[in-house]
Amino acid sequence: MKAIYVSLLAAAGLLINGAAQADEALAKAKNCMTCHQIATKVVGPAYKDVAKKYAGDKAAEGKLAEKIQKGGSGAWGTVPMPPNNVTPDEAKKLAHWVLSLK
């Protein structure tokens, strides 16, 4: 029984890791990584810094998804983030992924 439980946990980990890699690939495909990196500030903040800033904010995913689609400025300085060519579903996936990078 213990072996089955360990196998199920391992499979779940692979599924989660696979989804995270797919969302990182989406960020690369949509050119998000031109201005953002996971752990390093570039033009915009590092994704881990975004996750840290919004930790515990239950509305963060929706706010970030909207900002990804529409762009914005002021939250991280004076450099504006332009609107991105993403669908609402893609924006939600990207926001969820960014917030998972703790």
pLDDT tens-digit series, residues 14-59: 444 545 677 999 999 999 999 999 999 999 999 999 999 999 999 9
DSSP code, position 82: P
Where residue 54 sits, what CATH number does that domain have? Answer: 1.10.760.10
State the total domains in the chain. Answer: 1
Q: What percentage of the chain has pLDDT greater than the value 90?
A: 75
Range of the domain at 38: 2-99
Please report the pLDDT score of residue 21 as a whole number.
77
Residues 6+ apart with CB under 8 A from 70: 83
